[in-house]
Amino acid sequence: MPGLSIAREAAVLVSFISLFWLYGQSRKHEKRIAPKELGRLLAWAFAVLAAVVLLSTISGITTRPAENGARESSAIVILVGTVSSISLVALASFVLLIVRELVLFKRRQGTKRSLLIYELLLASTSLSAILTLPFQQAFVGSILFTLTVLFAVVISFRQNWIVYLSRREKIYALVYSGLLFALFVLLNVVLAENTLGNKALTAFSRPLQSYVQLNAVLGAIYFGMAFVSTLFHLPTAEVYERKQSELNSLHNLSRLITQVFDFNDLVNMVTQMTMEVCGARSAWLEIIDTNEATGEMNIQVVSRKNINQEDVAAFSDAESNSMRHMLLESKAVMMVDDVWNDRRTRFLKDRGKLKGSLLSVPLVSHDKLMGVLYASKQIEYGFDQDDVEVLTTFADNVTIAIENSRLIVRSIERERLQQEMLVAQRMQQRLLPQTVPQHPSLDIAATSVSSLEVGGDYYDFVSLPNEQLGIVVGDVSGKGVSAAFYMAEVKGVFLSLSKICTTSKQLLDLANQSLMESLERKAFISLIYGVLDLKTGSLNVSRAGHCPLVFVSEDKQELIRPNGLGLGLTNRQVFSQTTEERIILLKKNDVCVFYTDGVTESQNGSQEEFGYSRLLEATRQARMDTANEIKNRILNSIHEFTGTSSYGDDMTLVVIKWLGA
Amino acid sequence: MNEFKIHHREGDGVNVMELRGYLDAHTAPDLESAFQKLLNEKKYNIIVNCKDLSYISSAGLGVFMAYIEDVRKQAGDIKLTNMTPKVYNVFDLLGFPILYEIYKDEHDAVSKFHEGKKSSTV
């Protein structure tokens, strides 16, 4: 018989423990809000208590008159007892779970340990109820019971969760914990020795009776403490709530401002947010641009909120603004509690502007002061240390956001420049001849490569009257877009003058004259121009400060270097006096190479230049090949010399081979 | 990166700028501001010593063109000295020896400045 009873107890316990465990697991993954849980627990407790009281009353009424129908009534009693027992056990388990969660909120060292001890004591006390000897049970049981209640008190001091509630939530928590305290006290009364509920529960399972009772005590103690605790926390709720909302808005704002890239939008948002973050009446933002070279500072108010231009100017443009001086000096936050009576801002009183309190926070990036954020309130002593901290954090984010927006502007600008460079590059490509002239007595090959998007090299051919061909190779000083423009100008000058000039010198004289007027002072153009008579092979060459012409014949190779000045360097008279022309009579298989300094100035690893002699030699070696092969031979020779396949500078080659008239 | 440095000396009423390294499109603005500074200080007797100048590009040559006119208007001059053959060749190709006084040695340029002063005071 006792064996059977122990087996029954064990079965009931195991099933309840499994249920408890399952429910505990299902709660684990959910984030719960404390007051709501308390409300739910309250509803449960109320329902269970009411049910138990109601059921025991009903069963008490029904059993009394029908004394002869004892069997029937005992069945009802058993049913009622079982139902109320199960609901009481469920309630006790619910209490345990909720208290567990609340205790473990923001756990500290030892929190978990206290809880574990309590749970072990709870289990031992409950199980000790199985001990059959009444003496043992009374002795061991009462010691364990006392210890358990003691630890219930210990863990009831863990009320951290209350701190994090909002004011509204705290009020709910206060009401709920008060009611819960009352209900659990009531439950303890219901479970006192001789009530029907207690009898039913004891009959159902003694360990569970003990379990329910202990948890009812825990509930009463814990929620009693919670009630008192919440009551004490209520006055500080508002401060905490404000701080919390400041932190929240700070976080949101900081995230938001990093997403605004337009500078004006950004600074407007910053001043707006400054007001929100510290509850200021007005705010404005100064940006400080420091000229790297001169150290001169330009301070500009880029945004203001809820304050008129005059008031800001009264502060910002004041010559004897001692607050500004101190700010620039210290780069630290400054709080002025009473603007009109503070030494630093007293000057504002004379102007009758900006009463109240003022807070200024510097925006410091890479140790450089890039701006100052101001917040002002109408009342004196309007800002506190919290405002300083919040605004300082906010200012750090503002600094990053402003830096970002500047970087983006810069990169957009760079992108735009790149686009313009591409346009210039395409334009320049069209200025160069797309094909070389074809003539039976002449073989021509030409190439021009640019190291940058837009180079300064130019070459061209023009058919002249009397079966003559004009050949020009030039180099515009400078690079990039301006070089492309100058090149267009040179092409225009060259094309128009070549039709009216009979000799190369005449063309250069006139070209210098016309370019002198339009070129920038520091810009000039070097150019070599040859007029080739296709009937006789006579080449008339003039050189305007350009690289000498390479001339390779059967018996000699030489650099043709008539005197001459660069175009755009000096006036007509000096230019004309200096510039000479040379006439060479080409024989069959004679080769002339026009080129730019990129060819001769190509450098190898040890900074040696390719130079004239290598150019002459490469040309000589390939003299009997086609013009195109000569050109390739020169290019290969340069590559071999420099050891790379790329070019360090712009490079143009025009190879002319006379095949005989 | 090829460096470019300017060392400025002053004495005997002559300002000497010693150029060192690579003078190209990137470094030309440095030389420009150095010239501008001398002009702002009304110093017009300028010698550019090219002893350690290892390279000059067309942009570098342009700097001299930009200031020579202003300097000469103020009865001053920019004289170039101590060029290496390589650098001289660049100046020579463009015809600079016709436009500028170029000396083998800085002393020659200095005494030339002093001669000019004497002849103008006499």
B95/A545 Cβ within 8 A: yes
Most distant CA pair in chain B: distance in Å?
50
Question: Does residue A620 lie in a domain region?
Answer: yes
Domain span at residue B109?
4-121
Region of A159 (left: φ > 0; alpha: ψ -120 to 50; beta: rest) is: alpha
Question: Does residue A22 lie in a domain region?
Answer: no
CATH value at residue B108: 3.30.750.24
Candidates A522, A547, A563; nearest CB to B63: A522
pLDDT band with cut points at 50, 70 and 90 for residue B15: very high
Question: Does residue A423 lie in a domain region?
Answer: no
pLDDT tens per residue, range A185-221 = 888 887 776 666 677 777 777 778 888 888 888 889 9
Are A225 and A317 contained in the same domain?
no
Q: In chain B, whose CA is at the least distance from the CA of A524? A: B62
Are A266 and A236 contained in the same domain?
no
pLDDT tens per residue, range A634-646 = 999 999 998 876 6
Q: In chain A, whose CA is at the least distance from the CA of B58? A: A477
Q: What pLDDT sits at residue A114?
A: 86
Whether B1 and chain A come into contact, CB under 8 Å, resolves to no
Whether A475 and chain B come into contact, CB under 8 Å, resolves to yes
- Determine how β-strand A368-377 pairs with β-strand A357-365: antiparallel
Count how many domains chain A has.
3
Residues in B closer than 8 angstroms to A602, CB to CB, are none
More confident residue, A553 or A137: A553
| Least-confidence region, from A490-494, B4-8, B71-75, B114-118 | B114-118
Question: Does residue A149 lie in a domain region?
Answer: yes
pLDDT band with cut points at 50, 70 and 90 for residue A452: low
Domain's final residue, options A240, A270, A301: A240
Q: In chain B, whose CA is at the least distance from the CA of A544? A: B94
| Least-confidence region, from A119-133, B36-50, B58-72, B80-94 | A119-133
DSSP codes, A477-499 = SS-SHHHHHHHHHHHHHHHHHHH
Q: Give the mean model confidence (pLDDT) for residues A337-363.
A: 86
Residues in B closer than 8 angstroms to A566, CB to CB, are 94-95
Distance CA A614, CA A597 (A): 14
pLDDT band with cut points at 50, 70 and 90 for residue A67: very low
B65/A545 Cβ within 8 A: no
Counting every residue written for chain A, the total comes to 661
Q: What pLDDT sits at residue B119?
A: 57
The distance of B117 to chain A (nearest Cα, Å) reads: 26
Mean pLDDT in chain A?
84
pLDDT band with cut points at 50, 70 and 90 for residue B122: very low
Please give the helix or strand (H or E) that residue A445 lies within, else none. strand A442-449
pLDDT tens per residue, range A283-337 = 999 998 887 767 778 888 999 999 988 888 888 887 777 888 888 888 889 999 9
A521/B69 Cβ within 8 A: yes
Domain span at residue A102?
32-63+71-240
Q: Give the mean model confidence (pLDDT) for residues A329-357.
A: 85
Q: Give the mean model confidence (pLDDT) for residues A361-371.
A: 89
CATH value at residue A361: 3.30.450.40
Q: What pLDDT sits at residue A605?
A: 84
Residue A66: pLDDT over 60: no
% pLDDT > 70, chain A:
92
Q: What pLDDT sits at residue A228?
A: 92
More confident residue, A298 or A33: A298
Residues 6+ apart with CB under 8 A from A156: A218, A221, A222, A224, A225, A226
| ipTM of the modeled complex | 0.87
| Least-confidence region, from A72-86, A222-236, A259-273 | A72-86
Question: Does residue A310 lie in a domain region?
Answer: yes
pLDDT band with cut points at 50, 70 and 90 for residue B79: very high
Q: What pLDDT sits at residue A401?
A: 86
Domain's final residue, options A375, A409, A443: A409
Are A522 and A654 contained in the same domain?
yes
pLDDT band with cut points at 50, 70 and 90 for residue B64: very high
- Two structure tokens written together for A417: 């420049």
Q: What pLDDT sits at residue A194?
A: 65
Candidates A523, A526, A607; nearest CB to B94: A526
Residue B103: pLDDT over 90: yes
Candidates A478, A563, A570; nearest CB to B62: A478
B58/A456 Cβ within 8 A: yes
Residue A74: pLDDT over 90: no
Closest to A228 (Cα-Cα) out of A170, A185, A188: A170
Are A359 and A445 contained in the same domain?
no
B25/A569 Cβ within 8 A: no
Q: Give the mean model confidence (pLDDT) for residues A34-44.
A: 83
pLDDT band with cut points at 50, 70 and 90 for residue A159: confident
pLDDT band with cut points at 50, 70 and 90 for residue A553: very high
Question: Does residue A96 lie in a domain region?
Answer: yes
Q: What pLDDT sits at residue A273?
A: 85
Closest to A561 (Cα-Cα) out of A552, A572, A550: A550
Candidates A456, A478, A564; nearest CB to B95: A564
Residue B102: pLDDT over 80: yes
| Spatial contact of B15 and B9, defined as CB atoms under 8 Å apart | yes
The residue with tokens 């499109």 is B25
Are A455 and A486 contained in the same domain?
yes
Are A311 and A389 contained in the same domain?
yes
% pLDDT > 90, chain B:
52
Using alpha carbons, list the distances in angstroms from residue A42 to A46, A95, A161, A177, A447: 6, 10, 18, 8, 92
pLDDT tens per residue, range A83-134 = 778 888 888 888 888 888 888 877 777 888 888 888 888 888 888 777 655 6
Q: What pLDDT sits at residue B115?
A: 83
Distance CA A121, CA A522 (A): 96
Residue A459: pLDDT over 70: yes
> b vs e for A393-402, b when ≥16 Cβ sit within 10 Å of the residue's Cβ?
bbbebbbebb
Domain's final residue, options A356, A378, A409: A409
pLDDT band with cut points at 50, 70 and 90 for residue A490: very high
Q: What angle do CA A439, A440, A444 make, to 5 degrees?
A: 55
| Spatial contact of A168 and A31, defined as CB atoms under 8 Å apart | no
Q: What pLDDT sits at residue A581?
A: 93
Q: What pLDDT sits at residue A5?
A: 66
Question: Does residue A256 lie in a domain region?
Answer: no
Residue A72: pLDDT over 60: no
Q: What pLDDT sits at residue A90?
A: 85
Q: If contacts are CB pairs under 8 Å, which of residues 15-54 in chain B contact chain A?
A: 25, 54
Residue A404: pLDDT over 80: yes
Give the mutation candidate from A458, A473, A477 for the B interface (greatest B CB count, under 10 A): A477
Are A387 and A473 contained in the same domain?
no
Question: Does residue A173 lie in a domain region?
Answer: yes
pLDDT tens per residue, range A467-487 = 999 999 999 876 667 777 888
Q: What pLDDT sits at residue A53?
A: 77
DSSP codes, A532-599 = EETTTTEEEEEEEBPPPEEEE-SS-EEEE------BTSS-HHHHHHH--EEEEE--TT-EEEEE-HHH
Q: Give the mean model confidence (pLDDT) for residues B53-77.
A: 90
Count how many domains chain B has.
1
B66/A521 Cβ within 8 A: yes
Closest to B78 (Cα-Cα) out of B22, B39, B28: B39
